[in-house]
Amino acid sequence: MPSNSFDRYLEKTRTLADINAAIAVLSWDQETYMPHGAAVARAEQIATLSTLSHQMTVADEYRAILDEVKVDAANGLLEEWEKAAVRESVREFEQASKLPEDHVRDFARAQSLAQHAWKEARDRSDFSIFADSLAHLVQLKRREAELFGYDENIYDALIDLYEPGMTVAQLRPVFQRLMEGTRVILARIRESGAEVSNDLLTRKFDPEKQISFAKETVAKLGFDFRTGRVDLSAHPFCTSFAPSDVRLTTRVFSNDLRSCLFGLIHEAGHGMYEQGIDARFVRTPLASGTSMGIHESQSLFWENMIGRSERFWQWAFPKLQNQFPESLAGATPSDFFRAINVVQPSFIRIEADEMTYNLHIIIRFEIENALINGEIEVADIPALWNRKMEEYLGIVPKNDAEGCLQDIHWSFGGFGYFPSYTLGKLYAAMFYDQAKKDLPGLEDEIASGEFGRLLGWLRANIHQHGKAKRSAELATAICGKLLTEEPFLAYMTAKVEKVYGLGELAGNDVAAESAPAGA
């Protein structure tokens, strides 16, 4: 028998979803088309809507409805997806009810103003312009973490917002094994003396043609432009107002082919996830990804496992060469494959190679942990950032723009978000291993530019479930095991061997004995 209380519950979740979608539209506009002088007014608009959303989420009326549907769920009156929606709403209610209304308004306003300050600071390469805004956000996030509560580490409360159940204690050993495996592979490359040039990527490439090729490529992969669009922004991102309205952004440089193309493939991975969510979940808490780690697995799956594979460029390179016949004259698909997979330390995270990328994440993870725990202050960040870059990557940024100001995440208070990127790499490698087992002939299809069966596999196993399943549940159902770094290190070993022409790397040296990490 249908649950009347669930119908009342849906009325509330749909209203909340619409308000939050309106906030997302304003935020998207802020990053793309908003006039420079509108920052203060936009901050107030977003603060008002955020406060309204919070008021509705913690209202006594909504609490009573949630109590009713929890009883219906316990009595077997709800379908499985309905139970999952109620579970997520209860989680959201419990989190929101711990935050005073003044905190929600202060944070929304501070967040919007900080994004404006970050843009100016980044443009001028001057951290001092952003420092006060960042310090205010850190203060608010520390307060928020205390209000949410935690068992061992205050930073855990913020990580949990993006990867439910994950903690610093779980992440540290995974990151340590990744660092050790990365160092082994980097040492083998150095010892071999092999060199691969990426000069092919830094010639002159017309920006309009870059955007055109990138859009054609993601459409071929499966991003549906009937329900999505692409714009430019200072930092690439994907936002979804509904599965039928998904927005991607990228950025473009005339002397670097990687940023626009791989940035858009990455964001299209997010976008295809959003477009594939079960239609029943629209305007409920299930209409988003399982976690940011799983969401990043989808963007990194397409960007790296597919977009940086040799098979992919057997199909795509002739089309790219046709677009840029002068810049790519005389080059082969193999040349291009090797160029886009050069392993070398770099300053910019989103343009780092697959392997050293994780070192960028570890740096941010360690700084955030220290910052939220009060072990360092905002003023310490530029110098600490540079020291860690030198220690882990052997390079020192020349200025703040290519150092601690390069990422947008802190400007919107996204502390705890960065670990999701590396978790996404690990999940992506696990999922790709399984996809190859489940889809015989997959790599031949990729070489022919056929991606429909692969997208269908992702839709069936990941996308359609939205937030109905947790990360560990998905990983176990798909791969038969919990999160592990071992497939990623094996994948990187094989790729490095091919790119650098190395002999077989010792697997036992590269992939340290792996222990699962549940999320």
Give the up-direction half-sphere exposure of residue 380: CA atoms within 13 A in the CB hemisphere. Answer: 11
β-bridge pairing 238-242 and 228-232: unpaired
Residue appearing with tokens 């603060």: 47
- Residues 6 or more apart from 79 whose CB is under 8 A from it? none
The Cα 83–Cα 89 span in angstroms is 10
Provide φ and ψ at 237, rounded to 5°.
-155, 165
| Backbone torsions φ then ψ of 500, nearest 5 degrees | -100, 0
Can you give the pTM of this predicted structure? 0.90
Closest CA to 277 of 304, 240, 250: 240
Neighbours of 200 (CB within 10 A): 17
State the pLDDT at residue 3. Answer: 66
Grouping H, G, I as helix, E, B as strand and the rest as coil, residue 415 is coil
pLDDT at position 504:
56
Q: Residue 274 and residue 281: Cα distance in Å, rounded?
A: 11
Contact partners, residue 364, CB within 8 Å, separation at least 6: 349, 407, 418
Q: Which residues is 21 bridged to in the sheet?
A: none
Parse the chain into domains and list their residue ranges. Answer: 4-149, 168-509
CATH of 168-509 among 3.90.1150.10, 1.10.238.10, 1.10.357.10, 1.10.1370.30 = 1.10.1370.30
What letter does residue 232 receive in the DSSP assignment? E
- Close Cβ partners of 273 (under 8 Å, ≥ 6 residues apart): 289, 295, 298, 299, 458, 462, 463
Which residues lie closer than 8 Å to 32 by C-beta, 6 or more apart?
A: 231, 232, 233, 249
Q: Which positions are annotated as active-site residues?
A: 267
* Cβ-based burial of 414 (10 A; exposed 0-12, middle 13-18, buried ≥19): buried
CA distance 321 to 265: 18
Tell me if residue 480 falls in helix, strand or coil.
coil
How does DSSP assign 23-54, residue by residue? HHHHHHHHHHT--GGGHHHHHHHHHHHHHHHH
Residue in the block written with tokens 């330390």: 345
What DSSP assignment string belongs to 353-364? Answer: -TTTHHHHHHHH
- Quote the pLDDT of residue 36: 87
Over the stretch 135-180, which tens digit does the pLDDT of each residue have?
999 999 999 999 999 999 999 999 999 999 999 999 999 999 999 9
Question: What Cα–Cα distance (Å) separates residue 59 from each residue in 13, 64, 101?
Answer: 13, 9, 11
Rg from Cα positions in the chain: 23
Q: Identify each DSSP E strand in 225-323 by its residue range.
A: 228-232, 238-242, 245-250
- Residue 243 contacts residue 277 (beta carbons within 8 Å): yes
Question: What size, in residues, is the chain?
Answer: 519
Nearest to 268 by CA among 309, 308, 240: 240
pLDDT tens readout for residues 344-395:
999 999 889 999 999 999 999 999 999 999 999 999 999 999 999 999 999 9
What is the separation, in whole angstroms, between the first and last Cα of the chain?
Answer: 35
CA nearest to 504, candidates 185, 112, 111: 185
- Residue 124 has a CB neighbour count (10 Å cut-off) of 15
Coil/strand/helix, residue 241:
strand
Going by C-beta distance under 8 Å and a sequence separation of 6 or more, which residues neighbour residue 284? 10, 13, 14, 17, 85, 88, 89
pLDDT in tens, 1-56: 456 899 999 999 999 999 999 999 999 999 899 998 999 999 999 999 999 999 99
**Structure tokens given for 248:** 């991607």
Which phi and psi angles does 253 have, rounded to 5°? -125, 135
Q: What is the mean pLDDT of each run of 10 residues along the chain (519 residues)?
A: 83 96 95 92 93 94 96 95 97 94 92 93 97 97 97 97 95 95 92 94 97 98 98 91 96 94 96 97 96 97 97 98 97 97 92 93 98 98 98 96 95 96 97 98 98 98 97 96 94 96 56 40
For helices 471-479 and 292-300, the axis angle rounded to 10 degrees is 50
Backbone angles phi, psi at 239, to 5 degrees: -135, 150
